[in-house]
Amino acid sequence: MGVQVCWDVDAEQPPARVASWKSMNATCRGAKDEWLALFADDAVVEDPVGKSMFDEEGRGHHGHQGIAAFWDLTIAKVERFEFVIKDSFAAGDEVANVGTITTYLPGGYRVDTDGVFVYRVGADGLVRSMRAFWETERAMATARQVSG
């Protein structure tokens, strides 16, 4: 499904950073079941945080069923993903990745979404929450049709 995420795999990384990398990597490959397995049973995904076209109430997507529905509503409709993480800050059981997610959509459209993507993991390394801070209007302003 596209370019895979690169990280220095030889260096030991905090568990939240590892989980975020696995999440991005599974997303790029369209590996829904693998992606879902990264989340705890009671996990919450807020992407983006607050009310949006993906979450009209702004409460997030809860548990495997809600997170799977989020995949079907959003991720499954993208032809290809590219993640460029410009910086990453790990602290405690969380990591905040700063970067751009480029999505290639049907019809030859491309959208660049700049944001901060925060993952929190439990002691078992499973994602307890994923919160994506990005602005719909800013992302949609980058929408353009591209060839190939």
**84-133 pLDDT tens trace:** 999 999 999 999 999 999 999 999 999 999 999 999 999 999 999 999 99
**pLDDT beyond 70 at 3:** no
Instruction: Output 22-31 pairs: Cβ under 8 A, ≥24 positions apart.
Output: 23/119, 23/127, 23/130, 24/81, 24/83, 24/85, 27/1, 27/75, 27/81, 27/83, 28/1, 28/2, 28/3, 28/4, 28/80, 28/81, 28/82, 28/83, 29/1, 29/4, 30/1, 30/75, 30/76
Q: Answer yes or no: is pLDDT of 1 > 70.
A: no
Q: Could you tell me the pTM of the whole model?
A: 0.91
Query: Binning pLDDT at 50, 70 and 90, where does residue 146 land?
Result: confident
Say what percent of the chain tops pLDDT 90. 89
